[in-house]
Amino acid sequence: MSIDQDLKIAVILGSTRTGRFGPVVADWLLGHLVAREDMTADLVDLAATPLPTVFPSFGGELPPSEAELLAAVSPRLAAADAFVFVTPEYNHSFPAPLKNAIDWHNQQWHGKPIGFVSYGGLSGGLRAVEQLRVVMAELNSVTIRNTVSFHGAAQAFDADGKPRDPAAEAAAKTLLDQLAWWAHALRDARQTRPFAA
Ligand SMILES: Cc1cc2nc3c(=O)[nH]c(=O)nc-3n(C[C@H](O)[C@H](O)[C@H](O)COP(=O)(O)O)c2cc1C
């Protein structure tokens, strides 16, 4: 693979709530990704592609209907060079469907970088992000230092889906620049030497 090949970024939208605000945030981020020449984006919307919530026994097989649900998500995570989690904060953490999507997978996360765009009430989703850093370290991922966060999310965007605070655009650029650095470095490293878990 050429070192110049576009980075494949899977954007995982962690909120599945009816009437959720998440798509406004995800669409804004996707706008940034589409505008870049070094990245292609795949939106993994956990509402559109729900995953089973009951795990099989160790070594057990999934019923075909559940295997089909996983097949709509797992290959896309495997193909990604890097991820951005778009997550709200629910009770000082991140939503259960996002944890479910994380737990269904393992190697798909290994040796890959993850950036965060969070939103919520007073905290801007930052407590959800801090918890995600701990979880994703267990899955051999690298989390990106800089984040983008929106406090009082519903008021933070205008009717066109643009953040009212122009600083958000610069924050998104910094996040994606850092993600690109890690994604290139880790993709090169995985090609040189397969990740040993
Ligand atoms: C079950 C639940 C728990 C929440 N807990 C928090 C919280 O702990 N801290 C916070 O800042 N906002 C909290 N909120 C507010 C949400 O972060 C905010 O409404 C956000 O827009 C929800 O994302 P969604 O609309 O995409 O589902 C909570 C919302 C819900 C539904």
pLDDT along the chain (197 residues), means of 10: 81 98 98 97 98 95 96 98 98 98 98 98 96 98 97 97 98 98 98 89
Ligand 1 atom, smallest distance to 124 CA = 11
Instruction: Determine the Cα–Cα distance for residues 53 and 11; give it in Å rounded to an integer.
Output: 21
Predicted confidence at residue 197, as pLDDT, reads 73
Among residues 144, 140, 79, which one has the least CA distance to residue 118?
144
Predicted confidence at residue 161, as pLDDT, reads 98
Predicted confidence at residue 196, as pLDDT, reads 86
Q: Are 11 and 41 in contact (CB under 8 A)?
A: yes
Instruction: Determine the Cα–Cα distance for residues 84 and 94; give it in Å rounded to an integer.
Output: 14
Predicted confidence at residue 114, as pLDDT, reads 98
Mutational pocket test of ligand 1: of 89, 94, 127, the residue with most ligand atoms within 8 Å of the beta carbon: 89
Q: Which residues contact 138 (CB under 8 A, 6 or more apart)?
A: none
Is this prediction's pTM over 0.75?
A: yes
Ligand 1 atom, smallest distance to 17 CA = 27
Give backbone dihedrals phi and psi of 80, rounded to 5 degrees, phi first.
-75, 145
